[in-house]
Each structure stands twice: as structure tokens, then as C-alpha cells.
Amino acid sequence: MSKMLASVNSLSEARQVFAAGADIIDLKQPQQGALGALPVAVVSDIVAELKPNACISATIGDLPLQPQLVVDAVQAMAATGVDFVKIGIFPEGDPLATLQALSPVSQQGIKLIAVLFADTRPDLALITAIRQAGFAGAMLDTMDKRLGSLTCLMNIEQLQNFVSHCRESDLLSGLAGSLRADDIGLLLPLQADYLGFRGALCRQHCRTDQLDDLQVRHIRELIEA
């Protein structure tokens, strides 16, 4: 069964989604981009309060794929004690060189998640390189939130292909990207390991707005149902 990933930008929001039963609390700053990062100090505070009872992931920000830049950011975020560190596979830079540079990091026991973006038409052949670098998982997201949800950019067959590629490579799989309540019924049969939400949990469905308890619990209930 797919689990619920809820993206939050503060300790108070992390408390909200934890109380509502989110399976993964994902730390990022939506106002800073698709994978905007929270300050390391804020992440450390959230980890200190909610671990070991919560599973927590955190992004390193919208960084170009420059190997040393990404490695330094990953190590800094991993030092906070989060369970997973998410790295965006952005168009700028060298993805293969960056993945290779992260291989020694994964060998240190740091669980890495690669985030591919549907609106950049990602090459699923990268999943092999992601696995070879020792990553724990991969997910699909959207970079330009104005284009609509993930299901507007990729059809169900394409999404199933991604999930299957991950499963065959022994990687966790995640689907996210402006997902709405109506998307859940379409995506649950694909059996991705988790579905990620931000905008659908917020007031007026605006990802930069505050979380709405009723929306959070509604999404939780739809996934459980």
C-alpha cells in the first residue's frame, strides 16, 4: 500500500502532519522552488523533537548538478539525522558525474532519494545509474507547478513504467507534483511506495500557504481507504 508523504516548512507544520498520521514528513521550503531547502538548523530542531517516532526526509534545494556542490549539501543535511536526503535531478549540470560522486556518500549509510521531474521528460535510463550509485529510492515530481499535477504531465502507463523500473531496481518509488485528492484513486493502483503532497494539504490548495488540518486528514483518509 502506498504511504503518505507530507511536505512541511516548519516545526509547527511538522507537528501537524505527524499528529494526522503522515508516514513521511518531508522538510522543504516551497517558496524557494520545487525542492527549496530549509535551513539546516531548522531541520535539526524538527529531527530533535520528532525522532525516533517519525520518518523524516529533507531536500538540499534547487541546486545545479555540480558534484562537489551537491555532495557538500547532502552531507550537511544528512548530519541533521534525517532518514532520507532528497536530491533533484535538475537540467543544469552533469547528472552522471554527480551520481558517481554521491556513491561514496551512500556507502556511508546515508539514504538518498533522487527526484526526477516529469516536465523535463526524464530519461528513465537514469534509474540504473541511480541504483548503481547506491541510492535508496527515486521519485517523480514536477518542477514548474503552474503546469498542473503529475497526472497532467504523464499518463498512467508512463507512471506505471517508472514505478516498475524502480521496483525492478530495488528502489523505493514515490510520486508527487501538485497532486490533488482526485489523483489518489488513479495512483494507488500503481503501488508506488509513497505519494507526496503539499498544495493539496494547504488552504486554497496553494502550496505556499499554511496547512489546513481538514485537508491533511482528508488526504490521509483517502489513502487509507
Q: What are the backbone angles phi and psi of residue 29, rounded to the nearest 5°?
A: -115, 100
Q: Which CATH number fits domain 3-224: 3.40.30.20, 3.20.20.380, 3.30.1330.10, 3.60.15.10?
A: 3.20.20.380
**From the CB of residue 40, how many other CB atoms can be counted at a distance below 10 Å?**
15
139-186 per-position pLDDT tens digit: 999 998 888 899 999 999 999 999 999 999 999 999 999 999 999 999
**Catalytic-labelled residue, pool 3, 51, 86, 145:** 86
**From the CB of residue 50, how many other CB atoms can be counted at a distance below 10 Å?**
16
Angle at 213 between CA 212 and CA 218, to 5 degrees: 100
Q: In the structure, what pLDDT confidence band is assigned to residue 1 with cuts at 50, 70 and 90?
A: confident
Could you tell me the residue ranges of all domains in the chain?
A: 3-224
Specify whether 145 is catalytic: no
CB 54 within 8 A of CB 26: no
75-118 per-position pLDDT tens digit: 999 999 999 999 999 988 999 999 999 999 999 999 999 999 99
User: For the whole model, what pTM was predicted?
Assistant: 0.95
* pLDDT for the residue 186: 96
Specify whether 51 is catalytic: no
48-71 per-position pLDDT tens digit: 999 999 999 999 999 999 999 999
Residue 90 grid cell: 535538475
